[in-house]
Chains A and B, each alone.
Chain A
Amino acid sequence: MPMPPIEPRFDSIEQVTERLRSAGYLTDRSIATVVYVADHLGKPLLVEGPAGVGKTELAKTLAAALGFELIRLQCYEGVDETKTLYEWNYKKQLLRIQASEGRSSWDELSDDIFSEPFLLERPVLKAIRSVRPTVLLIDEVDKLDLEAEALLLEVLSDWQVTIPEMGTVSAARMPFVVLTSNNSRELSEALKRRCLYLYLDYPDAERERAIVLERVPGIERGLAERIVEIVRSIRGIELKKAPSIAETLDWARTLVHLQVRDLDPETISATLSVLVKFQTDLDRAADHLKLSGTRP
């Protein structure tokens, strides 16, 4: 099977950073490097990390930055090949059989009903067959059953889908594939081997500050700094769910909306629930920041 050629879409690591940035996504050097390497090796990129650090966002922004179409497969338990690859439109097939009323021979008929017009493409097949460049996002791949995960293997290494009744469909162009995982289970070795691996962790203070400044219009530098510092402090303690970037942004927006200039303990404890979602976590965080006594 001829493999589609690797068509690198970025010229340099700086260009990755630059283009993602202009599409509103701030990377650091290592994220940009991994994206660049994945692009040049023509390999899928598996992104793992805690919820809310921008895994899905990375894929979406890549599509936007490159001007490619984004094809998304949202995984959940019970997804099978009829939702990932393709499905035969059996209602239409039945209709076709009934319409022929025995006039066509068996061979004719079976050739006919297993052909293009009766095929329903699902995201993966769609990405493979697309003649325009695409970004294929396979979101939360850890939610897939093992069988469904195995179905992806052929696509991820050989860029083709085998449909028993029709034959093998090879990719016209290699899509940029991004898989995300919340690490709710170990993915199979076979899948991991086919991908490059990027662990997206909570960003360092500098980058998180930059993200807040970029994404929350009208926020002052000093406030952003304080926010990030408090969030990082809370992440340091044992929580059921540590605040992610998404929650940092929510909190920053809330504070801007409330026109807070100075983060005093009262304001923090009044708005902390935006940042931390469980009651026990809330108590812990308040305790950690020594807010007790100031709670409203």
Chain B
Amino acid sequence: MIGQVLTFTAALRRAGVPVGTSENLDALRSLEHVDLQERETFRAALAATMIKSDAHRPTFDVLFDLYFAPLASADEAEQERSEPSADDAERFLGELFGAMAGGDGRAVDELARRAIGTFGRVENSPSGSMYFQYPVLRALDLDALLSRVDEETDGRSVERQLKRDRIVEAIGRFRAGVAREVGRRVADRKGPDHVARHTVRALPQDVDLLTAMSADISELRRAVRPLARKLAARVAMKRKRAHGGRLDVRRTVRHSLSTGGVLMDVHLRKRVPHRPELFILCDVSDSVARFARFSLMLVHALSAQFTKVRSFVFVDTIDEVTRLFDHEDFMTAVDRINDEADVVWLDRHSDYGVSLERFLERYGREITPRSTILILGDARNNNRISNAWVVKELRSRARKVYWLNPEARSFWDTGDSIASEYARYTDAMVEVRSVKQLERFIERIL
């Protein structure tokens, strides 16, 4: 058992979960107190001792299921002989729908296990049969389950929504079950290390924004607010720790009264924190739109930290979108940018030169030495005129000009990217590929 826990620890570490020696010792000690036959108890004991952040929990669970997989039932191979027919799929879906509608999670898990055996096998001699997820998802039309809800429920719409939600949740559970089961079967054959390398996803804050999949994106959207909150707390703490300013005579004397007029403690006046006025210029052409939206969300979630935030978006011409963020609800605001902003002039390709020049023309006068300008984009200008002098001009008027580039540094200046042409005139061009890097940058300018 010790060996197994240590292999598991190594896998966790490889997946980026920090597990120290003391965590390991605790884990082993905790196993003396729980019944190892009971999987969920065992899992809870290991989780409590080994991982110290809920962000690591999904990774933990995936790996736990691989490394401490339940034993396969003996008759598994037996019942999975025949080739499934279309009728089988239909019957299976009916059963699945029943379990889902009844809210029976355990039945859904069980069906996911069965689904793999029935529909997920691909004959592959001589090494025997292999199991995959996609034949299952191809054979079973899960979306049809949702339409079935719409057909079956009539009348009150709340009812329908609740049922839909239940089915959507159950479908998620079923898919996860299928993935877990495939992992288990492959691990059975090739060892858990092999599977672990392929199935563990990056932590949300490390996901590459340019290539993220939509499942990661929805997770990230949920993470924006807590991230902003944490960032604000960290900045506030940094400010508080910064040394105070001049002597506050009034407070010092007043406090001395409690010590009989002896000046025991010196009180200093607090420094007024620097709150920059922010201008954000975002390229929202298709290639980098997602990155721009994220940055806008995060910055607006942090708007209390700035005196003023003004947002502009551009493709080949620029438009101000600050008013969209007037509501508290900036999630919707971000979704509305495309409908409401007037950003396309000629075609749908980015034109940094024209956009920057127009920005200077229209809003240049409002840039003051208190303004910080952030330009977000990949600097891929489709071989058009760069107008880099605009950046230089902006920099002479503003406090700072930063450029956030969502591409890896090694791609800068390749193809039609003219990153360094602009970078010359900015205070810094920063690589921001993940939320973590974005966070780090914002902390730096506050």
Set of chain A residues within 8 Å of B34, measured between Cβ atoms = 13, 33, 36-37
Contact across chains for B54 and A48 when beta carbons are under 8 A apart: yes
For the complex, give the distance between the alpha carbons of A270 and B52 in Å.
41
18 A-B pairs with CB atoms under 8 Å apart are: A29-B44, A30-B41, A37-B45, A37-B48, A37-B49, A40-B33, A46-B52, A94-B260, A183-B226, A193-B52, A199-B57, A233-B162, A240-B225, A264-B156, A278-B328, A280-B329, A289-B158, A290-B158
Per-residue interface assignment for chain A, residues 11 to 25, with 1 indicating a CB less than 8 Å from any chain B CB and 0 otherwise: 001000000000000
Residues of A in contact with B (beta carbons under 8 Å apart)? 13, 29-31, 33-34, 36-38, 40-41, 43, 46, 48-49, 77, 90, 94, 142, 145-146, 183-186, 189, 192-193, 195-199, 201, 204-205, 229-230, 232-233, 236, 238, 240, 264-265, 268, 278, 280, 288-291
The residue in chain A whose Cβ has the minimal distance to the Cβ of B157 is: A290
On whether the beta carbons of B234 and A43 are closer than 8 Å, the reply is no
Contact: B33 with A36, CB < 8 Å? yes
Nearest CB in chain B to that of A157: its residue: B22
Cα distance A236–B169 in the bound complex, in angstroms: 9
Taking the complex as formed, is B259 at the interface, i.e. its CB lies under 8 A from any CB of chain A?
A: yes
Cα–Cα distance between A265 and B30 once the two chains are bound (Å): 49
**C-alpha gap A43/B123 in the complex (Å):** 52
Given known contacts A30-B44, A33-B45, A37-B34, A185 and B162 CB-to-CB distance under 8 angstroms: no
Q: How many Cβ-Cβ contacts under 8 Å join chain A to chain B?
A: 119
A146/B237 contact (C-beta < 8 A), A36-B33, A37-B49 known: yes
Sorted nearest first, the 6 A-B pairs with minimum C-beta distance are A30-B44, A33-B44, A192-B52, A290-B157, A199-B54, A34-B48
Across the interface, do B43 and A30 meet the contact criterion of CB distance under 8 Å?
yes
Residues of A within 8 A of B43 (CB): 30
- Taking a contact as CB atoms under 8 Å apart, the answer to whether A41 and B29 are in contact is yes
Knowing A37-B48, A193-B20 touch, does A13 contact B41 (C-beta < 8 A)? yes
Give chain B residues whose Cβ lies under 8 Å from the Cβ of A186.
Answer: 53, 230
Does chain A have a CB within 8 A of B421?
no
| B160 surroundings in chain A (CB, below 8 A) | 290
Q: Are A37 and B230 in contact (CB under 8 A)?
A: no
- Taken together as a complex, chains A and B put the C-alpha atoms of A196 and B27 apart, in Å, by 10
In Å, the complex CA distance between A238 and B328 comes to 13
For A195, list chain B residues within 8 Å (CB). 52
User: Interface digits, B19-47 against A, CB 8 Å rule (1 contact, 0 not)?
Assistant: 01011001001100110000011011101
Residues on B with C-beta less than 8 A from A38 are 48
Bound-state CA distance A204–B106 (Å) is 13
Chain B window 161-184, contacts with chain A (Cβ cutoff 8 Å), 1 for yes, 0 for no: 110011011000000000000000
User: How distant is A50 from chain B, measured CB to nearest CB, in Å?
Assistant: 9
Establish whether residues A34 and B44, one from each chain, have CB atoms under 8 Å apart when the complex forms. yes
Q: How far is the CB of B32 from chain A (nearest CB, A)?
A: 8
Contacts of A238 in B (CB 8 A): 221-222, 331
User: In the complex the two chains form, is B158's CB within 8 Å of A41's CB?
Assistant: no
The B interface, classified by DSSP as helix, strand, loop or mixed, is helix
Cα–Cα, bound, A204→B173 (Å):
13
**Do residues A145 and B158 form an inter-chain contact, with CB atoms below 8 A?**
no
Measured CA separation A37–B237 after assembly (Å): 34
Complex interface: chain A residues within 8 A of B364 (CB)? none
Contacts of B424 in A (CB 8 A): none
Cβ-based interface call for B327 (8 A)? yes
Give the complex CA separation of A77 and B158 in angstroms: 44
Question: Would you give the shortest CB distance from A266 to chain B, in whole angstroms?
Answer: 10
CA distance A183 to B45 in the complex (A): 22
- Give CA–CA (A240, B330) in the complex, Å: 11
Q: A185-B230, A192-B52, A193-B52 are in contact. Are A268 and B158 (CB under 8 A)?
A: yes
As a 0/1 sequence over residues 230 to 256 of chain B, the CB contacts with chain A under 8 angstroms (1 = contact) are: 100110010011000000000000000
Q: Report the nearest A residue to B25, measured CB to CB.
A: A41
Chain B residue with the shortest CB-CB distance to A233: B165
* Residue in chain B with minimal CB distance to A13: B41
Interchain CB contact (< 8 A) of B259 among A90, A183, A198: A90
CA distance A31 to B47 in the complex (A): 11
Bound-complex Cα distance A43 to B48 (A): 11
When distances are taken between beta carbons in the complex, the residues of chain A under 8 Å from B259 are 90, 94
Q: A34-B45, A197-B51, A197-B52 are in contact. Are A41 and B26 (CB under 8 A)?
A: yes
CA distance A264 to B157 in the complex (A): 10
Assembly CA distance A36 to B49 (angstroms): 12
B14 at the interface (CB under 8 A from A): no
Known A145-B237, A265-B157; 4 more pairs at CB < 8 Å: A33-B34, A201-B54, A233-B165, A280-B328
Residue of A nearest to B33 (CB): A40
C-alpha spacing A273/B441, complex, angstroms = 38
Partner of B48, one of A90, A197, A201, A280: A197
Interface residues of B in 193-244 (CB under 8 A from A): 221-222, 225-226, 229-230, 233-234, 237, 240-241
| Residues of chain B with a CB closer than 8 A to A184's CB | 229-230, 233
